[in-house]
């Protein structure tokens, strides 16, 4: 038989971030944002043609190249006009690439894609054309195509920090964490202090359960940005996975002081305190969590309340119930409201307010005759009051509740 609220309640320690175990929200890019002007300048580099790995200019190409060259750093529209007038279907792929790059710089992405694809069709190993086409797809948020062309860049010997960084972010968005980790580690060979690359690598370490390494890298990120609560929380994930709960609690408290208060974070902090037998502190934090709770959080909150009741921490449970009533009760569904009423009645019984508690439980049973928690509480109350017939009556009714028979 299931023993309801007096059974052992396992307050499962969950990770701080919703979703899969140890996952984290995708972060916004800062120093490696492919849409930034600085990134474009650094990534595209010179418009000159690298004859060693790209289509060679033939003598007949020189006139076009010399005509457009003076405008590349001063008047991109004029450079585009010249190329549009002069470039023909059979022209050198280098000019398609150049025109596609200029269109990209002017954010004319459709035209850029057409020219870059023509360049690659004419010269499949055109590395810089693959690089720039990857950027076009990055602007369109087409992650699979970004990855496809960046892999071409790497295969053609163009594995620089920016390419590996973009590749890592693409893999991260597709939740291919091991691939993303390898790409970010390669990117950091070129730019070891990049904030984005550190952040990406740390997130991948967390998602691949390499918790010791994740803790160490989050130390660096916290040093770089000590007022960012997210880093304290994510490092807390790793510390919790290593069962370093006191350090986890310290991280949660730091995040809390920096404005990182959510129901999930505070609920976890409360669980840690309660399991470490700091009951008063845990109940206080749990009560604070209620103002951040959403309707879907009610069951978790009631499990915390149930835990305190099971331990007979009546005053702490009463304080938590008051906070629950203020912040969450208006959001409850009918069955949750009855369950909460039964838990409040358990507190009343524990504090000696028997008449109030019994009245609430009987009212719950009027609405829901198979409310197992209420039946169990009444059975236990009458047993402790030596009213065995009444106790047996309620215990027998509990046996008719499917979920309480196991």
Percentage with pLDDT > 70 across the chain: 89
Rounded distance between C-alpha atoms, residue 269 and residue 275, angstroms: 10
Rounded distance between C-alpha atoms, residue 97 and residue 123, angstroms: 10
Rounded distance between C-alpha atoms, residue 201 and residue 354, angstroms: 58
Asked if residues 165 and 147 have their Cβ atoms less than 8 Å apart, the reply is: no
Asked if residues 61 and 95 have their Cβ atoms less than 8 Å apart, the reply is: yes
Helices 334-350, 354-367: axis angle to 10 degrees equals: 160
- Confidence (pLDDT) at 53: 65
- Confidence (pLDDT) at 14: 38
**What are the residues whose beta carbons fall under 8 Å from the beta carbon of 360, sequence distance 6 or more?**
341, 342, 344, 345, 348
Candidate from 44-53, 302-311, 369-378 with smallest mean pLDDT: 44-53
- Confidence (pLDDT) at 25: 59
Task: State the alpha helices, DSSP H only, in 10-160.
Answer: 37-44, 62-68, 76-86, 93-105, 109-122, 127-140, 143-155
Average pLDDT value for the chain: 88
Rounded distance between C-alpha atoms, residue 286 and residue 167, angstroms: 41
Alpha-carbon 279 to chain mean position: 30
Q: Find where tokens 């860049």 sit.
A: 153
Per the structure block, which two tokens stand in for 282? 């845990």
From residue 41, alpha-carbon distances to 36, 151, 183, 240 in Å are 9, 21, 22, 42
- Confidence (pLDDT) at 36: 75
Q: Find where tokens 């010791």 sit.
A: 212
What is the rounded average pLDDT of the residues 339-365? Answer: 95
Per the structure block, which two tokens stand in for 132? 């720039």
Rounded distance between C-alpha atoms, residue 178 and residue 183, angstroms: 9
The pLDDT of residue 19 is above 70: no
The pLDDT of residue 305 is above 80: yes
Candidate from 27-31, 148-152, 165-169 with smallest mean pLDDT: 27-31
Which domains are seen in the chain, by residue range? Answer: 23-196 (1.25.40.10)
Q: Find where tokens 């309707």 sit.
A: 295
Alpha-carbon 285 to chain mean position: 23
202-260 pLDDT, tens digit each? 999 999 999 999 999 999 999 999 999 999 999 999 999 999 999 999 999 999 999 98
From residue 22, alpha-carbon distances to 59, 142, 169, 214 in Å are 59, 26, 17, 11
What is the rounded average pLDDT of the residues 380-391? Answer: 92
Rounded distance between C-alpha atoms, residue 231 and residue 252, angstroms: 10
Q: For 158-191, b where at least 16 C-beta lie within 10 A, e where not — what string?
A: bbbbbbbbbbbbbbbeeebbebbbbbbbbbbeeb
- Confidence (pLDDT) at 352: 94
Candidate from 13-27, 168-182, 289-303 with smallest mean pLDDT: 13-27
- Confidence (pLDDT) at 248: 96
The model's confidence at residue 45, banded by pLDDT at 50, 70 and 90, is low
122-138 pLDDT, tens digit each? 999 999 999 999 999 99
- Would you give the end-to-end CA distance of the chain in angstroms? 4
- The radius of gyration of the chain's CA atoms, rounded to the nearest angstrom, is 32
CB atoms within 10 A of CB 205: 24
Question: Closest Cα partner for 271 from 241, 243, 296, 249?
Answer: 249
**What are the residues whose beta carbons fall under 8 Å from the beta carbon of 188, sequence distance 6 or more?**
161, 194, 197, 198, 201
The model's confidence at residue 15, banded by pLDDT at 50, 70 and 90, is very low
CB atoms within 10 A of CB 71: 17
- Confidence (pLDDT) at 52: 61
Dihedral over alpha carbons 298, 299, 300, 301 (to 10 degrees): 50
Which segment, 15-24, 51-60, 207-216, 371-380, is predicted with the most confidence on average?
207-216
Asked if residues 252 and 244 have their Cβ atoms less than 8 Å apart, the reply is: no
Q: For 265-296, b where at least 16 C-beta lie within 10 A, e where not — what string?
A: bbbbbbbbbbeeeebebbbbbbbbbbeebeee
What is the rounded average pLDDT of the residues 109-120? Answer: 96
pTM for the predicted model, two decimal places: 0.81
What is the rounded average pLDDT of the residues 370-396? Answer: 92
The pLDDT of residue 7 is above 80: no
């Amino acid at each position: 038989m299931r023993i309801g609220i007096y059974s052992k309640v396992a307050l499962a320690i969950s990770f701080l971030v919703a979703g899969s175990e140890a996952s984290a929200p995708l972060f916004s890019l800062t120093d490696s944002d492919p849409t930034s002007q600085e990134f474009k300048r650094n990534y595209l580099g010179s418009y000159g043609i690298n004859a060693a790995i790209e289509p060679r200019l033939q003598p007949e190409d020189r006139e076009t190249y010399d005509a457009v060259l003076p405008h590349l750093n001063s008047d991109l529209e004029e450079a585009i006009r010249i190329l549009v007038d002069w470039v023909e279907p059979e022209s050198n792929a280098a000019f398609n690439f150049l025109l596609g790059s200029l269109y990209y710089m002017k954010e004319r992405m459709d035209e850029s894609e057409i020219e870059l694809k023509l360049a690659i069709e004419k010269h499949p190993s055109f590395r810089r054309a693959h690089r720039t086409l990857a950027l076009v797809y990055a602007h369109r948020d087409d992650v699979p195509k970004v990855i496809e062309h960046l892999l071409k860049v790497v295969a053609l010997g163009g594995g620089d920090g920016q390419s590996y960084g973009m590749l890592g972010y693409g893999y991260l968005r597709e939740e291919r964490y091991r691939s993303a980790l390898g790409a970010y580690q390669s990117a950091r060979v070129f730019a070891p202090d990049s904030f984005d690359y550190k952040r990406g690598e740390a997130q991948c370490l967390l998602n691949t359960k390499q918790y010791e390494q994740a803790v160490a890298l989050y130390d660096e990120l916290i040093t770089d940005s000590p007022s960012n609560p997210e880093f304290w929380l994510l490092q807390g994930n790793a510390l919790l996975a290593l069962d370093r709960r006191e350090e986890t609690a310290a991280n949660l408290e730091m995040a809390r002081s920096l404005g990182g208060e959510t129901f999930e974070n505070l609920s976890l902090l409360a669980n840690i305190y309660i399991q470490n037998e700091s009951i008063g502190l845990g109940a206080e934090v749990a009560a604070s969590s209620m103002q951040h709770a959403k309707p879907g959080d009610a069951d978790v909150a009631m499990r915390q309340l149930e835990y305190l009741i099971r331990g007979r921490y009546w005053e702490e449970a009463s304080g938590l119930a008051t906070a629950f009533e203020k912040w969450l009760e208006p959001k409850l569904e009918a069955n949750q409201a009855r369950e909460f009423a039964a838990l409040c009645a358990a507190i009343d019984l524990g504090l000696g307010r028997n008449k109030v508690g019994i009245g609430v439980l009987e009212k719950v049973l009027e609405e829901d005759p198979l409310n197992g928690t209420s039946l169990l509480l009444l059975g236990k109350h009458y047993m402790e009051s030596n009213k065995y017939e009444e106790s047996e009556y309620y215990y027998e009714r509990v046996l008719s509740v499917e979920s309480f028979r196991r």
